[in-house]
């Protein structure tokens, strides 16, 4: 598979994050109704294997004469026949092998559904984390702006009489406008939490208002340098590719079955005739029952249907091979796009982290200058907004990284 290198992330936070996700993934796997349906489809296909591997049911026919038929051996009372047909050698095994491969396709479909479900759980969990961080940064931004409001108000009030200027008051009004905007955004973010939480709980098939435990922090992650090993893992372990491989093998056994069905079937049985004695011209006539072994054979002389069955299976094999080739091309494209997105998100995360640090230093310098000269309040508000934007962008980049990693894991058939 592939490995994650976690940069500057505390071990306890990483373990906590893994435990939370692991528990939720296990819960989703056990409770999701759609996933259960896929698994039951697989179990149903398994039940077809003994059906197709069994011999045809014996045939029993009985005839009872309402008026005994007079024969030389006596009066025939009944005629009973029991016959068992036997397909050509190997046909039952081929049918079982075909059914087993069809069952494997259902299992791989279940695996693909499970991987997609796990990806949805991870993606929604990361979105909840992002929303939590956006709310936290917005609340911090609101507190900072409220602090700026108090500073500007004190500066305005301390001007005294004619010292109060319109410029000082404009600083107060300007920061109050920003506060109103942030308060509105904060209210929207908090209202967005409930539907996202409901979506997450729906995937786990539990009460929609159940609380969701989230990680304290997510840090920048990086894929190991062996990028091609990820692609190899995808082409070897992707469930949809495995499903097509199993389907192709199933058609191979179907072709073999079609060929064997063109061979004769043999039957073996017994015919039992019950007689009762009778007297004719004063002489006793027989009365002994008769048992006669029987054999039968089918003569498959209509060859066109068997050739058509074989050709049908062969064409389906070719179609599956072509679909597999196309799917490999699609998965390769998705792999390349995911690698690009992962690198892009990593670069952005590192950039935004550096910019956040530099903007923070700039903000502290501006505050010092404002305290001394009383000038530059508008620039402080602009830089504060810039800091807030970079903080949100950093969280988005980190979440994008983790989401892309989850996508790669889904493509590679892993959890």
Question: What is the average per-residue pLDDT within 248-266?
Answer: 93
Measured torsion, CA atoms of residues 104, 108, 114, 119, in degrees rounded to the nearest 10: 170
Output the pLDDT for position 288.
80
Q: Is the pLDDT of residue 223 over 90?
A: no
Name the residue with higher pLDDT: 97 or 170. 97
Residue 374 φ/ψ region, left for φ over 0, alpha for ψ in the -120 to 50 degree band, beta for the rest: left
* Other residues' Cβ atoms within 10 Å of the Cβ of residue 54: 11
Instruction: Tell me the C-alpha distance between 128 and 200, whole Å.
Output: 9
Output the pLDDT for position 4.
36
Question: What is the average per-residue pLDDT within 214-220?
Answer: 86
Task: Identify whether the C-beta of residue 133 lies closer than 8 Å to the C-beta of residue 267.
Answer: no
Q: Which residues pair with 221 in a beta bridge?
A: 6
Measured torsion, CA atoms of residues 341, 387, 16, 208, in degrees rounded to the nearest 10: -80
Output the pLDDT for position 111.
96
Residue closest to 60 by CA, chosen among 228, 267, 304: 267
* Residue 201 in tokens: 């709980």
Q: Which of 152-161, 174-183, 325-334, 339-348 has the lowest mean pLDDT?
A: 152-161
Q: Is the pLDDT of residue 14 over 50?
A: no
Residue 182 φ/ψ region, left for φ over 0, alpha for ψ in the -120 to 50 degree band, beta for the rest: alpha
Q: What is the mean pLDDT of the chain?
A: 88
Output the pLDDT for position 165.
62
Q: Is the pLDDT of residue 7 over 50?
A: no
Give the DSSP H/E element, type plus range, for residue 373. helix 303-373
Q: Is the pLDDT of residue 166 over 70?
A: no
Q: Is the pLDDT of residue 12 over 90?
A: no
* Residue 370 in tokens: 């404002």
Question: What is the average per-residue pLDDT within 283-295?
Answer: 81
* Residue 160 in tokens: 């005294």
Task: Identify whether the C-beta of residue 394 lies closer than 8 Å to the C-beta of residue 349.
Answer: yes
Instruction: Tell me the C-alpha distance between 232 and 229, whole Å.
Output: 5
* Residue 274 in tokens: 């019950």
Q: Is the pLDDT of residue 160 over 70?
A: no
Output the pLDDT for position 8.
35
Output the pLDDT for position 157.
80
Q: Which residues pair with 86 in a beta bridge?
A: 266
Output the pLDDT for position 287.
66
Instruction: Tell me the C-alpha distance between 102 and 370, whole Å.
Output: 75
Cα-to-chain-centroid distance, residue 221: 23
Output the pLDDT for position 156.
80
At 228-239, the pLDDT tens digits run 888 999 999 999
Task: Identify whether the C-beta of residue 233 lies closer than 8 Å to the C-beta of residue 410.
Answer: no
Coil, strand or helix: which one is 72? coil
Task: Identify whether the C-beta of residue 45 lies closer than 8 Å to the C-beta of residue 99.
Answer: yes
Name the residue with higher pLDDT: 152 or 132. 132
Exposed / middle / buried, residue 303 (Cβ in 10 Å: 0-12, 13-18, 19+): exposed
Range ranked top by mean pLDDT from 42-51, 216-225, 296-305: 42-51
Output the pLDDT for position 11.
39
* Residue 374 in tokens: 């009383």
Q: Is the pLDDT of residue 159 over 90?
A: no
Output the pLDDT for position 319.
97
Q: Measure Cα distances from 291 to 86, 179, 185, 303 in Å.
A: 22, 104, 95, 36
Per-residue DSSP letter, 80: E
Output the pLDDT for position 71.
77
At 385-402, the pLDDT tens digits run 999 999 999 999 999 999
Question: What is the average per-residue pLDDT within 66-81?
Answer: 82
* Residue 250 in tokens: 């199933």
Residue 4 φ/ψ region, left for φ over 0, alpha for ψ in the -120 to 50 degree band, beta for the rest: beta
Output the pLDDT for position 81.
94
Instruction: Tell me the C-alpha distance between 69 and 33, whole Å.
Output: 65
- Could you give all domains of the chain from N- to C-terminal order, each with its CATH number? 4-31+90-262+304-411 (1.20.1600.10)
Exposed / middle / buried, residue 325 (Cβ in 10 Å: 0-12, 13-18, 19+): exposed
Instruction: Tell me the C-alpha distance between 238 and 236, whole Å.
Output: 6
């Amino acid at each position: 598979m592939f490995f994650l290198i976690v940069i500057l992330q505390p071990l306890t936070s990483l373990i906590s994050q893994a435990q939370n996700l692991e528990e939720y993934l296990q819960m989703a796997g056990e409770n999701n109704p759609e996933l259960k349906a896929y698994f039951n489809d697989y179990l149903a296909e398994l039940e077809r294997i003994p059906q197709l591997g069994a011999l045809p049911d014996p045939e029993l026919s009985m005839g009872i004469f309402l008026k005994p038929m007079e024969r030389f051996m006596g009066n025939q009372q009944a005629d009973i026949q029991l016959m068992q047909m036997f397909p050509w050698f190997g046909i039952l095994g081929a049918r079982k092998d075909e059914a087993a491969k069809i069952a494997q396709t259902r299992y791989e479909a279940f695996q693909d559904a499970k991987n997609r479900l796990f990806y949805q759980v991870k993606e929604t969990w990361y979105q909840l984390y992002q929303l939590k961080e956006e709310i936290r940064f917005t609340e911090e931004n609101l507190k900072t702006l409220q602090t700026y409001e108090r500073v500007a108000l004190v500066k305005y009030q301390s001007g005294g009489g004619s010292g109060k200027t319109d410029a000082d008051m404009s600083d107060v009004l300007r920061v109050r406008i920003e506060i109103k905007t942030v308060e509105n955004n904060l209210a929207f973010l908090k209202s967005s939490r409930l539907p996202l939480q409901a979506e997450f709980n729906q995937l786990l098939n539990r009460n929609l208002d159940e609380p969701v435990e989230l990680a304290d922090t997510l840090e920048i992650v990086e894929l190991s340098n062996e990028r091609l090993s990820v692609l190899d893992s995808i082409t070897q372990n992707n469930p949809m590719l495995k499903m097509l491989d199993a389907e192709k093998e199933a058609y191979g056994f179907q072709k073999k079955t079609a060929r064997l069905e063109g061979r004769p079937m043999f039957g073996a049985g017994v015919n039992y005739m019950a007689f009762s004695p009778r007297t004719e011209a004063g002489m006793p006539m027989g009365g002994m029952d008769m048992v006669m072994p029987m054999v039968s054979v089918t003569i498959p002389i209509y060859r066109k249907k068997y050739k058509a069955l074989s050709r049908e299976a062969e064409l389906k094999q070719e179609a599956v091979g072509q679909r597999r080739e196309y799917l490999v091309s699609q998965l390769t494209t998705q792999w390349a796009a995911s690698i690009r997105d992962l690198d892009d998100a990593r670069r952005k995360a590192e950039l935004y982290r550096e910019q956040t640090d530099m903007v923070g230093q700039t903000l502290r310098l501006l505050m010092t200058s404002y305290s001394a000269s009383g000038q530059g309040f508008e620039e402080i508000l602009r830089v504060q907004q810039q800091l807030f934007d970079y903080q949100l962008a950093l969280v988005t980049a980190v979440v994008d990284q983790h989401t892309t990693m989850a996508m790669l894991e889904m493509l590679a058939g892993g959890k």
